[in-house]
Structure 1
Amino acid sequence: MTPSQKIPIGKVARAHGMKGEVKVLPYPLLNFEVITQILRFYWRSGPGEYQLLELESFRQAPGEGYLFKFKGIDDRDAAEKLHDTELFINREDLPPKEEDEFYVFELVGLKVLLPDGKELGEVVGLMPVGPYELLEVRVEPRKTIYLPMVEDIISEIDLEKGTIYATPPPDLLESQL
């Protein structure tokens, strides 16, 4: 049996209160609503070694982030031992996706190609903006552009080939490049 692919979801910022809660700052690689459906988390205890943390409860934290309570972490001292720990989930623990639905972590690193086959850049993230999301594409080491994730602009996403085919209107590229 092959080991499960671990996906980083966030980092424990600090202990919270006296009953073992920790404040977790999530990475933008997964929608947090997806994370809240998962009960098993892991932390890296060594190279290629992970320890299980079972979720007992979670809630919105004051300010940013979320408060997680893990089974067996019952006081502040135990919670403080998780400080600055990166949290992971198993890929197979993710809920099933709908057709033409993708997790952000699957898109990060894909090459964005224009209709003529020229590479525009590499996906570095996704930003929600109301009714749709913006694909964040690094076109130069210090230059990023944003493409709306709409059918008229994003024509195909091919995870196997590691590519996204985009047809952005010329004025959209001109305004950002």
Structure 2
Amino acid sequence: MLESVEDQYIKVGQIARSHGVQGEVLIIPELYAPTLFDVLDLVRIEDARGDLLPARIESVRVQEKNNRLSFFVKFEHITDRTQADTLKQFAVFAERETVSQFVGEEDDSESLLSYSVIVGDNQIGTVAGIIDNPAHPILDVRTTEQDQLLIPCVEEYIVDVDEDKQQIQCKNLDQLTKL
């Protein structure tokens, strides 16, 4: 039996922008692993339709600045800035087996992706990403109005995480929004 895409691949980052004229792209990682791309030579890029297209890595440069990790990646099939610009905001996936062997057990925060964010009895949005922060993870939530809301994973804002219902009960979010 074939494995589902979710079982076979894991999101390792997001292409933020092109870099330089040779076709390099800046990838913001989902996982903190400075040598992650050292073990990857082939990744999958999720296109606008949601298809995972293979992309062979030609070279990688790692930059750690202000406790943030960034990867400047050159793919074999991307030869100039114009081609690299077409990849902006696309997600980058790798084989789950390779990544899990490299970084160990799957990060618990990764399992919160797509969870509903609830305040009282109202769903206000869905977890679109997890920002790795030295103090604590931060939930990147897309609200029902398609706005972005960043929620620190601390007791001040998180009441409960219900794994069965895939919901995160929150409080005090008015402190995080514009008044």
The TM-score normalised by the length of structure 2 is 0.57
Q: Give aligned pairs, total.
A: 156
Conservation of the 8 A alpha-carbon contact between 1:112 and 1:164: yes
Instruction: Return the match for 1:97 from 91, 102, 105.
Output: 105
Q: Which residue of 2 aligns with 1:173?
A: 173
Structure 1 position 26, deviation (Å): 1.9
- Cα distance, 1:31–1:24 mapped onto 2, change above 3 Å: farther
Q: Which residue of 1 aligns with 2:154?
A: 150
CA distance in 1, matches of 2:20, 2:78: 5
Q: Which residue of 2 aligns with 1:23?
A: 24
CA distance in 1, matches of 2:21, 2:173: 45
CA distance in 2, matches of 1:16, 1:66: 16
Matched, 1:109 2:114: yes
CA distance in 1, matches of 2:116, 2:125: 6
The TM-score normalised by the length of structure 1 is 0.58
Q: Percent identity?
A: 19
Gaps of 5+ in 2: none
Matched, 1:51 2:54: yes
Structure 1 position 14, deviation (Å): 5.5
Paired letter, 1:125: G
| Secondary structure, counterpart of 2:154 in structure 1 | coil
Gaps of 5+ in 1: none
| Secondary structure, counterpart of 2:173 in structure 1 | helix
CA distance in 1, matches of 2:176, 2:137: 17
Conservation of the 8 A alpha-carbon contact between 1:15 and 1:23: yes
| Secondary structure, counterpart of 1:147 in structure 2 | strand
- Aligned CA-pair RMSD: 4.2
- Cα distance, 1:127–1:62 mapped onto 2, change above 3 Å: closer
Q: Which residue of 2 aligns with 1:36?
A: 37
CA distance in 1, matches of 2:46, 2:175: 43
The structure that has the greater radius of gyration is 1
